[in-house]
Structure 1
Amino acid sequence: MDLILSAIEILMRWDVALALLAGSVGGVLIGAIPGVGPAVAIAILLPATFSMDPIVGLTVLLGIYGSSMYGGAIPAILINTPGTAVNALTTYDGYPMTARGEPRRALSLAYSASFFGGVFSVICLILFAPLLAKVAPMFGSREIFLAALLGLILVVVAHRGQALIAGALACLGIFLNTIGMEPVKYTQRYTFDQDFLGSGVNLIVVVLGLFALSQAFVLLMDEDEKVHITKLRGGMSQGLRELARHPRVTAVSASFGVLMGMIPGVGEFTAQFMSYTYAQKSSKRPQDFGKGSSEGLIAAETANNAVPAAAMVPLLALGIPGEALTAMMLSVFYVHNVVPGPGLFQNDMDFVVALYLALLILNVLVLGFLLFATRALVQVVKIPNRFLGVCILTLSFVGVYSLRNSATDCLIAAGFGLFGFILKRLSLPAVPIILGMVLGGIMEVKLRSGMARVKEPLDFIDRPISFILFIIIILVLASHILRVWRDRKELKEAEWQNKTASTSFGKLMSRRKNSFLKDRGKEVRGRHSKLLRRLKGLF
């Protein structure tokens, strides 16, 4: 109880309250605008948060992270265009509801499901905080190295069908992190006698380039489209009552979100599809899914909003981000000399609980805001793409220049922006680069400190947690290799069946053609013989 009171005392400040309000409302607005998304907004705001207190800056970023999915449901339901990438599954059942004249019901149901998922995950993590405080100190340098390596591997294998390119991009991120001053002996690496590379490649510059500038280029090149929005009539509270009719789907989906959020590299997409699949298989009306099923909409929105709070667990307990957004937040910790990891849970547990309480308050603020402001909020969907692109481009360059007052950083950001634009056009992931930069630095430092006590290779995994992490890494790699082998085997079988079918079809057509020609020849010869007999009769 004393811990919660200390956390409440941290939050009882006017600047924290203002940050909560700005983050929650701003996140909803950002999520409701298709083509922007929380990654772009957080990337732009990062330089500004460096001058704030840690709790204030993180509260703003958490507000955008946690509330953007609420706003992303609005265009997904009304115009079949997800506001954020994780709202793509919302379109499956949300837009069909709008098409049959139930937009208000779909929105209120999405808000209610999102609220339950967010609150459920925060409560679970507050209850488990004492347990995490006991487990976190068991992680030493070797364990954190293996956990970071596991997170990087999970990020790579999560890109099914693109694992090779994702691994290459992750390696690129690790290489970018090695440029500059080496962290132990302070020697120059890969600087090529260039002064601007002496301080390394700044993570925020790369983030702004890959996410903000690349998205600005995409918006500037896309044409503006006229958007027709269905008018909303009536109140927005009926979803709360309808949510209570599906307690099983709601609870299971929220649980999936919490579990998947705590695993680095997994995140919202896996949680959504697992909960959606479960809801469809356990439903009494599975044929309605994809056609406006309330259970499908509940499963998608509950799962994705349960992830943000859970994703803070590996970040706070081990200092390991599981995705690009939490990797960006990690830089805020480092700027203020607040080091996430076991020490944070031992020495600043009230700070950790304050962040979770901020997420809890955030969900309440967002739900109240949406219940009364949705009709006005839907108009942001109509903002032209090119206007958004110019705004993002301007704010991004201002943010990059404000970091070190360096025009070189602006050029580097522009280069990464162009690279990110190419990745987007080729449908390739940019997230592995960021995680490679962040996790690569963690792995290098922890590996060097851990190797000081290692005499033989097996000494690296001679402790229970390190051994368990090593076994998990082996199992993940083995399962991925097995899955790739099965996919290739199925592909070869499908190609062989298609080839056999086409060959059989060709033979069949050839036989039919020969038979037809043979019959046709007999018919023609018969006619000729009849004609010859008639001619002989005439003469």
Structure 2
Amino acid sequence: MDLILSAIEILMRWDVALALLAGSIGGVLIGAIPGVGPAVAIAILLPATFSMDPIVGLTVLLGIYGSSMYGGAIPAILINTPGTAVNALTTYDGYPMTARGEPRRALSLAYSASFFGGVFSVICLILFAPVLAKVAPMFGSREIFLAALLGLLLVVVAHRGQALIAGALACFGIFLNTIGMEPVKYTQRYTFGQDFLGGGINLIVVVLGLFAISQAFVLLTDEDEKIRLTRLRGGMFQGLRELSRHPRVASVSAGFGVLMGMIPGVGEFTAQFMSYTYAQKTSKRPQDFGRGSSEGLIAAETANNAVPAAAMVPLLALGIPGEALTAMMLSVFYVHNVVPGPGLFQNDMDFVVALYLALLILNVLVLIFLLFATRSLIQVVRIPNRFLGVCILTLSFVGVYSLRNSATDCVMAAAFGLVGYVLKRLSLPAVPIILGMVLGGIMEVKLRAAMARVKTPLDFIDRPVAFILFSIIILVLVMHTVRILRDRKELKEAEWQTKTSSTNFGGLMWRRKNSFLKDRGKQVRARHAKLLRRLTDLF
């Protein structure tokens, strides 16, 4: 009880309360604007949070992180365009409700499900905090190295169909982290005699380039769309009553969100997929899913809003971020010499509880705000893309320059913005680069510390936690390999059956497939040529 009172005392400070209010409402606004998203907002705000107290800066970022998914449901439901990437599944059942004249019901249900998922997650983790305080000290240098390696591996494996490129990008991020001064013997690495590389490549410069500046390029090169909004009538409290009629779906979906959030590299998409699949398989009306099912909407929104609080567990307990947003938050800790990990739970447990209580209060503030302000809020969907692009580009360069008053940083940010733009146009992930930079630094430091006490390779896993983590790594690699081989076998069998089919229909389908692949190749080459022309026009 004393711990909770101490955490409440931290949150009662006027600057913390103001940061929580600004972050929660600002996150809703950011989420409601298609094409922006929390990663862009957090990247832009990072330089400003370095001058704040750790609790104030983290409260702002947590507010944006936790509330953006609420706002992202608004365009997903009203115009079939997710405000944030994790609201894509919301369009499956949210927009069909709008199409049949029930936008108010869909929005209200999404808000209520999001609130339940967020509150459920925070309560679970507040109760789980004492256990974390006991488990965290069991992690030494070798355990944290293995946990970071597992997190990086899970990030790569999670990009199904793009695991190879995700692994290459993660390795590129690790390489970027090695540039500059070596941390033990203080020798120069990969600087090639260039003074501006002596201090290394700043993580915030890369974050702003890959997420904010690249998104500004996308918005500036895309055409504005004409949007027609549905007019809302009546109160917004209907969803609270409707949610109470589906307690099983809501509880299980929130549980999936908590479990998936605590695993580095997994996050909202896996939680949503599992909860949506469970809801459909156990529903009395599975045929309604994708056509405006209230259970489907509850499953999607509850799961994705249960993840943010759970994602803070590996960050706070081990100092290992599981995604790009928590990796950005980790930099706030480092700037203020607050080291996440076992020591944080032992010495600053009130700080940890204060962060979880901030997430709890955040959900209450956002729900109240949305229930009364949705009719005015939906107008932000109409903001032109190019105006947003100019604003994001300007704020990004201001933030980069404010880091070290360096024009070189601005040039590097623009270069990474170009890289991020190409990755977005080719539908390739940028997150592995950031996690490679963050986790690569952790792995290097912890491996050096662990090797001083290790004489043989088996000594590295001679402790229970280290052995468990090593076993999980091997299991993940084996399962991923088996899945690749199974997918290839199924594909070959399908192609062989089509080729050897004795019917004219089979041969016709095989020829059509070959023709489709050739046309697809032409489309890809045309898209690449168009991309090169756009890049030429930009620069």
- The interval holding the TM-score normalised by the smaller chain is over 0.9
Give the Cα–Cα distance (whole angstroms) in 2 for the partners of residues 538 and 451 of structure 1: 48
Conservation of the 8 A alpha-carbon contact between 2:499 and 2:510: no
Kindly state the Cα deviation for residue 309 of structure 1 after the two structures are TM-superposed. 0.0
Kindly state the Cα deviation for residue 501 of structure 1 after the two structures are TM-superposed. 2.5
Change (3 A) 1:290 1:185: same
Give the Cα–Cα distance (whole angstroms) in 1 for the partners of residues 398 and 537 of structure 2: 105
Change (3 A) 1:391 1:537: closer
Q: Deviations over 1:172-195 (max 9, x none)?
A: 000000000111111110011100
Kindly state the Cα deviation for residue 520 of structure 1 after the two structures are TM-superposed. 41
Please identify, of 503-512 and 280-289, the stretch whose mean Cα deviation from structure 2 is larger: 503-512
Give the Cα–Cα distance (whole angstroms) in 1 for the partners of residues 13 and 255 of structure 2: 32
Change (3 A) 1:287 1:6: same
Give the Cα–Cα distance (whole angstroms) in 1 for the partners of residues 525 and 132 of structure 2: 93
Conservation of the 8 A alpha-carbon contact between 2:34 and 2:83: yes
Q: Deviations over 1:24-56 (max 9, x none)?
A: 000000000000000000000000000000000
Conservation of the 8 A alpha-carbon contact between 2:97 and 2:103: yes
Kindly state the Cα deviation for residue 233 of structure 1 after the two structures are TM-superposed. 0.2
Q: What SS does the aligned partner of 1:284 have? A: coil
Kindly state the Cα deviation for residue 522 of structure 1 after the two structures are TM-superposed. 47
Give the Cα–Cα distance (whole angstroms) in 2 for the partners of residues 534 and 131 of structure 1: 53
Conservation of the 8 A alpha-carbon contact between 2:498 and 2:506: no
Change (3 A) 1:106 1:452: same
Conservation of the 8 A alpha-carbon contact between 2:121 and 2:306: yes
Kindly state the Cα deviation for residue 494 of structure 1 after the two structures are TM-superposed. 1.1
Change (3 A) 1:293 1:452: same
Q: What SS does the aligned partner of 1:502 have? A: coil
Q: How does 1:282-431 map to 2 (within 5 A)?
A: 282-431=282-431
Kindly state the Cα deviation for residue 495 of structure 1 after the two structures are TM-superposed. 1.0
**Any gaps of 5 or more consecutive residues in structure 2?**
none
Q: Deviations over 1:301-347 (max 9, x none)?
A: 00000000000000000000000000000000000000000000000
Give the Cα–Cα distance (whole angstroms) in 2 for the partners of residues 533 and 209 of structure 1: 21
Give the Cα–Cα distance (whole angstroms) in 1 for the partners of residues 276 and 360 of structure 2: 25
Q: What SS does the aligned partner of 2:500 have? A: helix
Kindly state the Cα deviation for residue 525 of structure 1 after the two structures are TM-superposed. 54
Change (3 A) 1:365 1:504: same
Q: Deviations over 1:489-520 (max 9, x none)?
A: 11111111121237765899999999999999
Q: Deviations over 1:124-181 (max 9, x none)?
A: 0000100000000000000000000000000000000000000000000000000001
Please identify, of 81-90 and 490-499, the stretch whose mean Cα deviation from structure 2 is larger: 490-499
Moved over 2 A (4+): 501-539
Give the Cα–Cα distance (whole angstroms) in 2 for the partners of residues 139 and 535 of structure 1: 47
Change (3 A) 1:281 1:198: same
Change (3 A) 1:448 1:105: same
Give the Cα–Cα distance (whole angstroms) in 2 for the partners of residues 84 and 530 of structure 1: 26
Q: Deviations over 1:280-307 (max 9, x none)?
A: 0000000000000000000000000000
Give the Cα–Cα distance (whole angstroms) in 2 for the partners of residues 473 and 8 of structure 1: 39
Change (3 A) 1:187 1:521: closer
Conservation of the 8 A alpha-carbon contact between 2:155 and 2:266: yes
* 2:483 counterpart of 1:489: no
Give the Cα–Cα distance (whole angstroms) in 2 for the partners of residues 528 and 83 of structure 1: 27
Conservation of the 8 A alpha-carbon contact between 2:38 and 2:64: yes
Conservation of the 8 A alpha-carbon contact between 2:499 and 2:507: no
Kindly state the Cα deviation for residue 400 of structure 1 after the two structures are TM-superposed. 0.3
Please identify, of 510-519 and 127-136, the stretch whose mean Cα deviation from structure 2 is larger: 510-519
Give the Cα–Cα distance (whole angstroms) in 1 for the partners of residues 528 and 205 of structure 2: 88
Aligned residues: 539
Change (3 A) 1:502 1:170: farther
Please identify, of 488-497 and 157-166, the stretch whose mean Cα deviation from structure 2 is larger: 488-497
Change (3 A) 1:521 1:30: closer
Give the Cα–Cα distance (whole angstroms) in 2 for the partners of residues 215 and 114 of structure 1: 26
Measured on the aligned residues, the alpha-carbon RMSD in Å equals 12.8
Give the Cα–Cα distance (whole angstroms) in 2 for the partners of residues 311 and 326 of structure 1: 7
Change (3 A) 1:473 1:533: closer
Q: Deviations over 1:92-133 (max 9, x none)?
A: 000000000000000000000000000000000000100000
Change (3 A) 1:336 1:490: same
Change (3 A) 1:373 1:188: same
Give the Cα–Cα distance (whole angstroms) in 2 for the partners of residues 157 and 197 of structure 1: 32
Give the Cα–Cα distance (whole angstroms) in 1 for the partners of residues 242 and 409 of structure 2: 51
Give the Cα–Cα distance (whole angstroms) in 2 for the partners of residues 171 and 77 of structure 1: 38
Change (3 A) 1:191 1:235: same
Please identify, of 182-191 and 493-502, the stretch whose mean Cα deviation from structure 2 is larger: 493-502
Q: Deviations over 1:197-229 (max 9, x none)?
A: 000000000000000000000000000111000
Change (3 A) 1:496 1:129: same
Change (3 A) 1:537 1:443: closer
Change (3 A) 1:507 1:64: closer
Give the Cα–Cα distance (whole angstroms) in 2 for the partners of residues 409 and 151 of structure 1: 29
Change (3 A) 1:507 1:414: closer
Change (3 A) 1:493 1:43: same
Conservation of the 8 A alpha-carbon contact between 2:144 and 2:318: yes
Give the Cα–Cα distance (whole angstroms) in 2 for the partners of residues 269 and 302 of structure 1: 12
Change (3 A) 1:443 1:517: closer
Change (3 A) 1:512 1:46: closer
Give the Cα–Cα distance (whole angstroms) in 1 for the partners of residues 120 and 374 of structure 2: 24
Partner of 2:198: 198
Change (3 A) 1:459 1:372: same
Kindly state the Cα deviation for residue 375 of structure 1 after the two structures are TM-superposed. 0.1
Conservation of the 8 A alpha-carbon contact between 2:498 and 2:507: no
Kindly state the Cα deviation for residue 364 of structure 1 after the two structures are TM-superposed. 0.2
Change (3 A) 1:139 1:537: closer
* 2:119 counterpart of 1:136: no
Change (3 A) 1:194 1:252: same
**Any gaps of 5 or more consecutive residues in structure 1?**
none
Kindly state the Cα deviation for residue 527 of structure 1 after the two structures are TM-superposed. 59
Structure number with larger C-alpha Rg: 1
Q: How does 1:203-352 map to 2 (within 5 A)?
A: 203-352=203-352
Conservation of the 8 A alpha-carbon contact between 2:122 and 2:359: yes
Q: What SS does the aligned partner of 2:157 have? A: helix
Q: Deviations over 1:58-93 (max 9, x none)?
A: 000000000000000000000000000000000000
Give the Cα–Cα distance (whole angstroms) in 1 for the partners of residues 535 and 235 of structure 2: 95
Change (3 A) 1:280 1:401: same
Q: What SS does the aligned partner of 2:199 have? A: coil
Give the Cα–Cα distance (whole angstroms) in 2 for the partners of residues 44 and 527 of structure 1: 30
Kindly state the Cα deviation for residue 448 of structure 1 after the two structures are TM-superposed. 0.3
Q: Deviations over 1:446-490 (max 9, x none)?
A: 000001000011000000000000000000000000000001111
Conservation of the 8 A alpha-carbon contact between 2:499 and 2:506: no
* 2:79 counterpart of 1:79: yes
Give the Cα–Cα distance (whole angstroms) in 2 for the partners of residues 328 and 534 of structure 1: 30
Give the Cα–Cα distance (whole angstroms) in 2 for the partners of residues 51 and 534 of structure 1: 38
